[in-house]
């Protein structure tokens, strides 16, 4: 029997409806995206601006000079954060090394991408604050499909700062029992088979094979890589014929990530 597909689109539509409804009542709140004139950032920021309109937000884009003095960049970020008409600030990631401190100038109450070290500290200490969009999207997807987290065994394959570590903390806050695996984990398949919910966020195609799951495993694929020009996740096709449910790549967690970002922006606008 094929696994149930945990598709992101219906989750996104549900989240967008709620976000738009509340954003409208706030009078089209505004976010600000700051980055350099680089192809990847231009593409990402353009997609943010396009998405903003569909979620009921305005979006300003500030393009930095590639030869800017770091202090000038820090000042630009600080001034954007100080604007009363801006509820959220997004800064290009990753930044060149000499500009990396720019995230420290994003006010915590407007740090909708959870980049400021203060936001990260709040997350690690369990305080109220924003959570990174991709780990939040995993939770949003599970909640949408009614998959319980509390009391469940969760195995996360990947210990990166972007997904693995923050997701482990969020899962702990939701009262799951969490195991984090990595490249040095001995007998990865047996550890994975112990999971009720298995999340892979490594960017290694076909890392999760059929011997990593049972017919009761819920698999969330956060991996992203490209093979022969096509987008691939961490989960091998054979898993789809064995596990209970799986989020596909593309079409699973990815689309929900943008909704999670604007959910943070909505919270920032309401708090403002």
Q: 62-96 pLDDT, tens per residue?
A: 999 989 999 999 999 999 999 999 999 999 999 99
pLDDT, residue 227, reads 87
Look at residues 218, 215, 226 and name the one whose alpha carbon lies nearest to residue 200: 218
Q: How many CA atoms lie within 13 A of 83 on its CB side?
A: 17
pLDDT, residue 165, reads 96
Placement of tokens 């956060």 in the chain: 222
pLDDT at 205 over 80: yes
pLDDT at 1 over 60: no
DSSP states of the chain: -PPEE--HHHHHHHHHHHHHHHHHHTTS-EEEEEEES-HHHHHHHHHHHHHHHHTT-EEEEEEEPTT--HHHHHHHHHHHHH-TTEEEEEE-SSPPGGGGGGGGGS-GGG-TT--SHHHHHHHHHT-SS---HHHHHHHHHHHHTT---TT-EEEEE---TTTHHHHHHHHHHTT-EEEEE-TT-TTHHHHHHT-SEEEE-S--TT-B-GGG--TT-EEEE---EEETTEEE-SB-GGGGGTSSEEE-TTTSHHHHHHHHHHHHHHHHHHH-
pLDDT at 272 over 80: no
Instruction: Please state, as a whole number, how many other Cβ atoms lie within 10 Å of the Cβ of residue 16.
Output: 19
**Integer Cα distance of 131 and 248 in angstroms:** 23
- CA 228 from chain centre, in angstroms, equals 25
Condensed to tens digits (0 to 9), the pLDDT of residues 121-161 reads 998 888 888 999 999 999 999 999 999 999 999 999 999 99
Exposed, middle or buried: residue 169 (CB in 10 Å: 0-12, 13-18, 19+)?
A: middle
């Amino acid at each position: 029997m094929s696994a149930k597909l945990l598709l992101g689109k219906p989750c996104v539509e549900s989240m967008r409806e709620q976000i738009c409804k509340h954003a409208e009542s706030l009078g089209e709140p505004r976010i600000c995206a700051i980055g350099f004139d680089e192809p990847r950032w231009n593409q990402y920021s353009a997609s943010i601006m396009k998405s903003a309109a569909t979620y009921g937000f305005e979006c300003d884009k500030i393009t930095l000079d590639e030869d800017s003095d770091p202090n000038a960049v820090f000042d630009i970020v600080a001034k954007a954060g100080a604007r009363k008409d801006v509820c959220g600030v997004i800064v290009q990631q990753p930044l060149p090394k000499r500009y990396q401190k720019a995230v420290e100038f994003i006010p915590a109450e407007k740090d909708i991408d959870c980049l400021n070290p203060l936001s990260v500290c709040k997350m690690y200490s369990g305080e109220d604050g924003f959570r990174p969009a991709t780990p939040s999207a995993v939770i949003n997807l599970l909640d949408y499909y009614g998959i319980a987290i509390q009391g469940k065994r969760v195995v996360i394959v990947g210990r990166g700062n972007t997904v693995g570590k923050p997701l482990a903390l969020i899962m702990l806050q939701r009262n799951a029992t969490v195991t984090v695996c990595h490249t040095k984990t001995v007998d990865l398949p047996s550890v994975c088979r112990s999971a009720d919910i298995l999340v892979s966020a490594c960017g290694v195609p076909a890392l999760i094979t059929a011997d990593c799951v049972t017919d009761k495993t819920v698999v969330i694929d956060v991996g992203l890589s490209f093979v022969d020009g096509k987008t691939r996740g961490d989960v091998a096709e054979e898993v789809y014929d064995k596990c209970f449910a799986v989020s596909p790549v593309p079409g699973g967690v990815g689309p929900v990530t943008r909704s999670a970002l604007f959910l943070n922006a909505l919270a920032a606008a309401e708090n403002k």
